[in-house]
Structure 1
């Protein structure tokens, strides 16, 4: 990859397995000789990781959706400047666990109609979309149970309960219809290896 990198994102509700699939994809592509950068949101750079602790920990009502939107966008801008764009410029494959689609859902849809504000701020401050997005579709109750079983300190969104997860799943599927050329819906209610095969097949179509 000498001219242009490839930007791959993973999306889905909490507990959908996207983090595992992102790691598996990075391992598969690295084994095939590609230079890969595995990163995540919020986070992926020093400043963005500090913001991650603010938005993913604490009481569910710690921030309003509007404040979250500003925090997530600030984290994404730092991540973009310091990690994503330099890697793409170097011809590497960037594999990101969540990107702007999560903000379109969790802040734009979750607790009010902020989608317009999300898109305006994204256009103004980010201006970057993945080349391809793997949406791991998962049963909300099963995904939430999996997410809660991890018992980490980063459970602020999981603490909103299954109702939010159901709303987010429907929203992600609608988003896939909005961006059908970019977002590939992959059934996550199957063994990990089968999901990984479908992810790799989707990404293969974009590789040089």
Structure 2
């Protein structure tokens, strides 16, 4: 995987990066941070939220006295709406970045729809979804933000804007890990503080950042010159870690 990633880096500019993972993994936060960091480093980038509309449908469902979107439109209806809305969002994002020449930082991508289908138990729809989404190019890098479903659940409850069950989060986590694309993902430990997660992501993209931007933020100060240097002695060379 590392060799393949290096080969993709040598092909030229960074066109598309995708951040995927279960709800509560921090995709939106990290996608915004990455777009800002790339732009600050001189590589213009744009954040794109490629949501499937589950949260929006969930709010509508509650207005009609239903607990969630699936109870409103049914499993097949939900998967159909998700697939269409996400397809349109990705298409618009790619066209926009093609026209402007900016890097597209994708908050969710096509594989998120495949994982959603699997988590809902609608496996027979996956083949149709893959045929429909096949028109989209694969991102040069796809980051899977990996977090324990229990921690994701706590984060969702803290933000208080929506709700997910532990059963759904666990099923979604399993779905991502069983996708045939999983070996191509760069798995990032998203259970760490947000700043550490950002550093992990930037480390993997270091070849696309200018050298100055990818250098350590707080370099160690140089040792001061001694007033009376001691005689030098030959010592065995050691490799730096």
TM tier, shorter chain?
0.7 to 0.9
1:78 maps to: 88
- Greater length-normalized contact order (CA 8 Å, ≥ 6 residues apart): 1
CA shift, 1:54, in A, is 4.3
SS at match of 2:118: coil
Q: Deviations over 1:154-187 (max 9, x none)?
A: x3xx43x101111211221233x63433x11101
Query: Is residue 195 of structure 1 aligned with residue 197 of structure 2?
Result: yes
Aligned length: 190
Residue 189 of structure 1: how far off its partner (Å): 1.2
> Aligned with 2:104: secondary structure?
strand
In the other structure, the counterpart of 1:180 is 183
In structure 1, runs of 5+ residues without a counterpart are: 44-50
The CA deviation at 1:80 is 3.6
Rg larger in 1 or in 2?
Answer: 2
TM-score by length of 1: 0.79
> Where does the alignment leave 5 or more consecutive residues of structure 2 unmatched?
1-11, 62-66, 211-241
Match of 2:4 in 1: none
User: What are the superposed Cα offsets for residues 34-63 of structure 1, whole Å, 9 maximum, x if unpaired?
Assistant: 1111110227xxxxxxx5664343332223
Query: What is the distance in 1 between the residues matched to 2:151 and 2:23?
Result: 10
CA distance in 2, matches of 1:207, 1:70: 39
Q: Secondary structure at the match of 1:64?
A: helix
Q: For 2:175, what is the secondary structure of its paired residue?
A: helix
Change (3 A) 1:167 1:206: farther
Normalization by structure 2: what TM-score? 0.69
The residue that corresponds to 1:48 in the other structure is none
Q: Give the structure 2 partner of residue 122 of structure 1.
A: 133
Name the CA shift for 1:80/1:4 in 2 (closer, same or farther; >3 Å).
farther
